[in-house]
Amino acid sequence: LKRKPLVVVTRRLPDVVETRMRELFDTRLNHDDKPLSAAALAQAAREADVLVPTVTDEIDASVLAQAGPNLRLIANFGNGVDHIDVDSALQRGITVTNTPGVLTEDTADMTMALILAVARRVTEGARIIPDDAWSEGWSPTWMLGRRITGKRLGIVGMGRIGQALARRAKAFGLSIHYHNRRRVSGRTESELEATYWESLDQMLARVDIVSVNCPHTPATYHLLSARRLKLLKPEAVVVNTARGEIIDETALARLIELGEIAGAGLDVFEQEPAVSPRLVKLAKAGKVVLLPHMGSATHESRVDMGEKVIINIKTFLDGHRPPDRVLPSML
C-alpha cells in the first residue's frame, strides 16, 4: 500500500483549516505554536512531502540542503516568500506556492489605519484617558495632528495591496502617486486617478505620505535607503505594511529623531520580533506607531489563507499545477 503524503505545518492555524487538512492529508500539526528551531525545521524538511511554513520559518539554503528526497512542495501560509530561498528550492525541483489575493483588503485597511493613526495621533490620544492624564481637559491647541484630506500619498509597489490602498486613500481625499516596476494599465490609473512616477526619487520629494507595498526581494532591499529617505519633506510620514527590510530602519529612526521626517507607522521590522530601541523610544514620544506584524491578522484572512494553502497542496498532490506557484520572475 502506498503511504499517504505527509504534510508538516509549522505553526498553529485556525481550527477549521487544521480540521480540513487532517481530513485531506496525513497532517502533522504544531500545537506548541512557537516558531520551530532551525534543527526542528530541518527535521521537518527531511520528513515531509509537503511543508507549510509561515513568515517565522527561515527556509534557507542550509535547511533545503537537509531536505529529504520526498519534499516536493513548500506551500507557504502567507504572501511574502522572502524567508524562503526560492531559487534553491526550485533548483532542487521543489515547487513553492503562496497565498495571494485573500489578504489584500485587510492589509490595505491596516495601512490606512497606520496613516490615520500617525497623522491624527490616534494611539497617542488613546492612551491619555486610560493613563488618567486628561485632568486639564480640552484645549484648542492640544493634541493637534495633520489633516490627510488633500495631501499626496506615494505608493511604492502598485500591486494588489497598493491598488486596494489607493482606492481607500482616494475616498479619504488623498491624491494618489505611485512608483512601480511597471506602469499599471491606463484604465486602473484613471480609475484611481493615480500619477505614475518612473523615478522613485522624484516621487519621494513630492509626497506627504509614503507607503511601502512591494515585496521584499534582492532588488527592493533598502529601497528606501538613507539617501532616498532624505529626499522626503520634513512633514512627511512613512508607512510600511510590507517588509521591514525594504526600508533602512536605522536611517529612518535617525531622520525622525532629527526632525527631518515627521513620523512613521510600521507593522514590519528588519529583525522581527526584535524592534530597534530607537523606534521604541520614538513610539513612546508619540512620533511613530508600531504594530507587531498585524496587517493580515483577521479571522477571515487567516481562514482564507489556509484554504489557499489547502487548494495548492491538493492540486499539487493530484498531479496538477497549483494555482499560486511562485515563479523566478516574481523574485
Least Å from the CB of residue 255 to ligand 8YV: 25
Q: Which CB atom, from 77 or from 269, has the smaller least distance to ligand 8YV? A: 77
Active site residue 160: no
Active site residue 92: no
- Cell triple for 169: 486613500
Q: Which CB atom, from 78 or from 154, has the smaller least distance to ligand 8YV? A: 78
Active-site residue (options: 72, 183, 278, 293): 293
Position with the least CB separation from ligand 8YV: 78
**One-character DSSP codes across 229-266:** HTTS-TT-EEEESS-GGGB-HHHHHHHHHTTSS-EEEE
**One-character DSSP codes across 137-192:** ---TTSS-----TT-EEEEE--SHHHHHHHHHHHHTTPEEEEE-SSPPPHHHHHHH
Q: Which CB atom, from 27 or from 240, has the smaller least distance to ligand 8YV? A: 240
Least Å from the CB of residue 74 to ligand 8YV: 12
Active site residue 216: no
Binding site for ligand 8YV (CB under 6 A): 54-55, 77-80, 103, 293, 295-296
Q: Which CB atom, from 12 or from 222, has the smaller least distance to ligand 8YV? A: 12
Q: Which CB atom, from 121 or from 168, has the smaller least distance to ligand 8YV? A: 168
Locate all alpha helices (DSSP H) within the chain, ordered by sequence.
15-24, 38-47, 61-65, 86-91, 104-119, 122-128, 160-171, 186-192, 200-206, 226-229, 249-257, 277-284, 299-317
| b/e per residue 54-74 (b: at least 16 CB within 10 A) | bbbbebeeebbebbeeebbbb
Active-site residue (options: 83, 243, 245, 249): 243
Least Å from the CB of residue 226 to ligand 8YV: 25
Residue written as cell 491598488?
A: 163
Least Å from the CB of residue 33 to ligand 8YV: 13
Least Å from the CB of residue 165 to ligand 8YV: 15
Catalytic positions are: 243, 272, 293
